[in-house]
Structure 1
Amino acid sequence: MKRRRHSRYGFPMDQSVSISPAGLEAGSARRAPLSMQTRMVVLSYLAYFFYYFTRKHLGVATGALIDAGYSKQLIGDANFGFSLLYMIGQGVSGYLGDRIGPRITICAGMILSALATLAFGVFPLMGLLIVTYTLNGFFQATGWSNTCKVVSSWVSPLKRGRVMGFWLTCYIFGSLSATALAGWTVQHYGWKHLFQAAGLIVLVVGIVQGLFLINRPKDAGYDEEEDDIRPGATRQPEAREKSFSEVIRHPSVLLLGISYTGIKFIRYTFFAWLPLYLREVAKAGNDTAAYTSLAFEIGGVIGLLPSGYIAARWFPDNRTRLAFVALLIMTLVVVLYRQLGGAAGSNLFAHGMGLAGIGAFLYIADSIVSGTAAQDLGGAAKTASVAGVINGIGSIGALCSAKVPIWLEERWGWDSIFVAFIVISIVSCIAIAPVAFKKRLDPI
């Protein structure tokens, strides 16, 4: 084996060595060092963490915007446009991530999202809110599928369960941090400065991703991460790589997408309308409503942190089983929250506890369906495409969350939204059941 001096990224290559078949199986001679793998995982974590800074700002600023003369319908239209372009962009960004790599896609998406957010902060015209936030939906769609692909390229499947248990906290901590920053900025400086600050932060992070992110080990001169073999399992013969059209038609991908539609409807309803709901029902101020809404994401952290270990320990062959269980429990928590008056009371502590319980189990299911299950089904080659399709179908739920909750609230009150949550979560359980009952979830 000849020695290569440097990779295209300037990293020195390993010296020429004689590698036995056993050594190749272990992968120790040519695999990327752990420090480099860690850097790529951390970079992808930070990328999706900061995507939320130009995603959560509108939900937090909704109350202040209404006070400034913007209507609920206008804000609903902006959320609808965002969700529509986000849904369309998921499939496009997943395809691009597999074709040209996640580095360029993430960098471009973050920079364009930042510019769209800055535009409205500098020129706060009502019509511009709809235009910029709608375009922002397309740019935001570059995030999830491509950051998932980075992890699947740099971390082998056997180790991925525990790594993803940590990594999947990126969108909860990102949401928490974005909400906290937004609430503080609106309180002290006003909503215009919120859009400006969020845009500048994401602009810087997008540039950093373009400079330092590496798509895969091969681009740095190392071997690709091979699938680890679980004890007692045998390596499957290499199959023909599926095309994007075949990915779209695969039954497991479609069922996960349908299930994710319900999950995403609930999550994005909270994103868009929870601060306003707490302001109107619990009579909280704009800043208090924003901070109380953090309970939903805090519950998600509490649920997610042990979920990686639980999935790897008890559900290593099919992690969607844990998602199925989490959805069932979440449904019961929503029922309990509603029955105890959480949807109609004014006790902020009761709201916080109920929302934390819902968030804990919702985020377990969300992370598995959109993240680890997509990686398991897609493998290193098709993770971005599978994640993009699942998220694209699921974004129908996000699309509905822009208008349906307010339509329900205006006719039957806020409690009707929680009734809808119960029905939708049951449908999501039914959709995911055929996939969860499979003995193994192998790459398609």
Structure 2
Amino acid sequence: MAQLPPGIRFITLFSRDQWYRAFIFILTFLLYASFHLSRKPISIVKGELHKHCAASHEVELNSYREYAAQIQPVKKPSNVSQCGWEPFDKNNYKQLLGALDYSFLCAYAIGMYLSGIIGERLPIRYYLTVGMLASGLFTAMFGLGYFYNIHNLWFYIMAQVANGLVQTTGWPSVVTCIGNWFGKGRRGLIMGMWNSHTSVGNILGSLIAAYWVSTCWGLSFVVPGVIIAVMGIVCFLFLIERKCFSLIKTIENCTMSLNSGTAVTAEGRHGTSAISFLGALRIPGVIEFSLCLLFAKLVSYTFLFWLPLYITNVEHLDAKRAGDLSTLFDVGGIFGGILAGLISDRLEKRASTCGMMLLLAAPTLYMFSAVSKMGLEATIVMLLISGALVNGPYALITTAVSADLGTHKSLKGNARALSTVTAIIDGTGSVGAALGPLLAGLISPSGWNNVFYMLMVADACALLVSLKILWSCDVFPLCQAIYIKMQIFLLQFQYSLL
């Protein structure tokens, strides 16, 4: 009898349930990677929106007539500006670019609190599809400013605000979906691997944007916009938002169950009503981890939006090469997220893992600010290390910790709190994500070293606000266990003396 081909034997090693889990894992990974892919171009294009032309700013005008001659309206060729793209070609370009970041992130933070509540009450597949299609539209809208020669600051700000609002549909939806399909076993490792979609999306977004940034920066936004819109269609066609009670059923029965709204989760039928906002805040650990993420995300998003420009200034590279080099920070973030998940699973202590990485991150940032000025090789090494330590706690809190809290034992089986809890934690974190780039834009004119000092203070604050949860969840139970073992040992010792 002929043996089965190796590929068929491999397929039969796994059950249908395992194949569905793998499919949802990959699909949600790609869906959210496309969200970050569409956010990254602005950081790459900054170096093109403003080009260094110090000489033009330092020219001293000797007379009013000479000054007037220089400011006479001259018709320039389309898309050509001496110091970049108007209005970002002025001396206050850092503040203007910071305003773009702040507009997106403020809208994202505000929208996130509402998104989780809405997401609990709507079918995830429809909600996520609409959000992705709208994200594609507004991402491409920013790039259309290039093709239509638009130089109005408010056009770009409104594009950022609209995009920030619609992108809030993504995170609560995909975390809820992945949480519905995967239980608590090895959740840290699985979600650490899954959360690398953030870094993968940033890397792909950087490479795509960098490809066109020097020749036609409008395409740096239009192409990612098209990609996320296409992924929205894929989401509509293929996403199954929760695991059916028995995946031995045919996919047709599962789909009928989902469409009729009677799907049964793996956790059972408990808690069919969505949790309130205040109810989610009362879950132990939600407030502490939310504040911790606020400071952790402040650091991460400052790197996300300002790292290419920093590399351009320090290493004196063009926008494309700086964008390519900045991807190493996200490569380090992939390993950091996986390592954080693996350690937290092994120790069964999420808070301790976050605290340890935050403790190491602050001195590493100081080393980065000093070593990055010593040459390209040193910058590469520090980008990888900093990316791992900065993104590790951020990745762990937004995935495994959020999923743990969204299915906390205090909910008594109510599985419909996951989206709201995720939105609260990530929404609070997004406040920090909005503040970080804004502060970087305000502080950077006084020197990049001051920006790094601000980031180190933020990491220290993240560690401080996590001390309460670190003590209650990890340190106190550990001390209690040690105390009980000592008591048992003393009793046994006294008994042996009798």
- TM-score computed with the length of structure 2 as normaliser: 0.75
Output the CA distance in 2 between the equivalents of 1:405 and 1:161. 32
Output the CA distance in 2 between the equivalents of 1:135 and 1:238. 34
- Partner residue in 2 for 1:101: 123
Assess, with a 3 A threshold, how the Cα gap between structure 1 residues 201 and 239 changes in structure 2: closer, same or farther: closer
Q: Give the CA deviation at 1:121.
A: 2.0
Question: Among 130, 153, 163, which residue is 1:136 paired with?
Answer: 163
User: Are 2:273 and 2:416, in contact at CA under 8 Å, matched by a contact in 1?
Assistant: no
Output the CA distance in 1 between the equivalents of 2:384 and 2:325. 10
- 1:330 matched to 2:356: no
- Partner residue in 2 for 1:247: 280
- 1:425 matched to 2:459: yes
Q: Give the CA deviation at 1:341.
A: 4.0
- 1:364 matched to 2:392: yes
Identity of aligned residues (%): 26
User: Are 1:106 and 1:142, in contact at CA under 8 Å, matched by a contact in 2?
Assistant: yes
- 1:118 matched to 2:140: yes
User: Are 1:255 and 1:431, in contact at CA under 8 Å, matched by a contact in 2?
Assistant: yes
Output the CA distance in 1 between the equivalents of 2:382 and 2:405. 33
- Partner residue in 1 for 2:427: 392
- Partner residue in 1 for 2:444: 409
Q: Give the CA deviation at 1:251.
A: 5.3
SS in 2 for 1:402: helix
Matched residue type, 1:213 = L
- Partner residue in 2 for 1:51: 35
User: Are 1:86 and 1:395, in contact at CA under 8 Å, matched by a contact in 2?
Assistant: yes
User: Are 2:32 and 2:170, in contact at CA under 8 Å, matched by a contact in 1?
Assistant: yes
Q: Give the CA deviation at 1:366.
A: 0.4
User: Are 1:32 and 1:217, in contact at CA under 8 Å, matched by a contact in 2?
Assistant: no
Q: Give the CA deviation at 1:75.
A: 2.3
Q: Please, which moves more after superposition, 382-391 or 155-164?
A: 155-164
Output the CA distance in 2 between the equivalents of 1:159 and 1:346. 41
- Partner residue in 2 for 1:349: 377
Gaps of 5+ in 2: 1-14, 51-83, 245-253, 258-262, 408-414, 476-498
Q: Give the CA deviation at 1:35.
A: 1.5
- Partner residue in 2 for 1:210: 236
Output the CA distance in 1 between the equivalents of 2:378 and 2:103. 33
Q: Please, which moves more after superposition, 157-166 or 278-287?
A: 157-166
- Partner residue in 2 for 1:155: 182
Matched residue type, 1:357 = I
- Partner residue in 2 for 1:282: 315
- Partner residue in 2 for 1:146: 173
Matched residue type, 1:390 = I
User: Are 2:41 and 2:209, in contact at CA under 8 Å, matched by a contact in 1?
Assistant: yes
Assess, with a 3 A threshold, how the Cα gap between structure 1 residues 197 and 238 changes in structure 2: closer, same or farther: closer
Assess, with a 3 A threshold, how the Cα gap between structure 1 residues 430 and 207 changes in structure 2: closer, same or farther: same
Q: Please, which moves more after superposition, 56-65 or 240-249?
A: 240-249
Q: Give the CA deviation at 1:241.
A: 7.2
- 1:168 matched to 2:209: no
Assess, with a 3 A threshold, how the Cα gap between structure 1 residues 120 and 240 changes in structure 2: closer, same or farther: closer
- 1:257 matched to 2:290: yes
Output the CA distance in 1 between the equivalents of 2:188 and 2:447. 41
User: Are 1:93 and 1:105, in contact at CA under 8 Å, matched by a contact in 2?
Assistant: no
Q: Please, which moves more after superposition, 196-205 or 398-407?
A: 398-407
Output the CA distance in 2 between the equivalents of 1:341 and 1:364. 21
User: Are 1:79 and 1:134, in contact at CA under 8 Å, matched by a contact in 2?
Assistant: no
Q: Give the CA deviation at 1:181.
A: 1.4
- Partner residue in 2 for 1:23: none
Matched residue type, 1:62 = K
- 1:89 matched to 2:111: yes
- TM-score computed with the length of structure 1 as normaliser: 0.84
User: Are 2:192 and 2:399, in contact at CA under 8 Å, matched by a contact in 1?
Assistant: no
Assess, with a 3 A threshold, how the Cα gap between structure 1 residues 161 and 32 changes in structure 2: closer, same or farther: farther
Q: Give the CA deviation at 1:421.
A: 1.0
Assess, with a 3 A threshold, how the Cα gap between structure 1 residues 413 and 251 changes in structure 2: closer, same or farther: farther
Q: Give the CA deviation at 1:122.
A: 2.4
Matched residue type, 2:280 = V
User: Are 1:32 and 1:223, in contact at CA under 8 Å, matched by a contact in 2?
Assistant: no
Assess, with a 3 A threshold, how the Cα gap between structure 1 residues 260 and 179 changes in structure 2: closer, same or farther: same
User: Are 2:352 and 2:474, in contact at CA under 8 Å, matched by a contact in 1?
Assistant: no
- Please say which structure displays the higher CA radius of gyration: 2
Output the CA distance in 1 between the equivalents of 2:452 and 2:138. 33
- Partner residue in 1 for 2:20: 36
SS in 1 for 2:190: helix
Output the CA distance in 1 between the equivalents of 2:436 and 2:346. 35
- 1:186 matched to 2:187: no
Matched residue type, 1:384 = S
SS in 2 for 1:143: helix
Matched residue type, 2:227 = I
- Partner residue in 1 for 2:483: none
Assess, with a 3 A threshold, how the Cα gap between structure 1 residues 157 and 53 changes in structure 2: closer, same or farther: same
User: Are 2:302 and 2:436, in contact at CA under 8 Å, matched by a contact in 1?
Assistant: yes
SS in 1 for 2:25: helix
SS in 1 for 2:141: helix
Assess, with a 3 A threshold, how the Cα gap between structure 1 residues 266 and 275 changes in structure 2: closer, same or farther: same
Matched residue type, 1:330 = A
Q: Give the CA deviation at 1:65.
A: 1.4
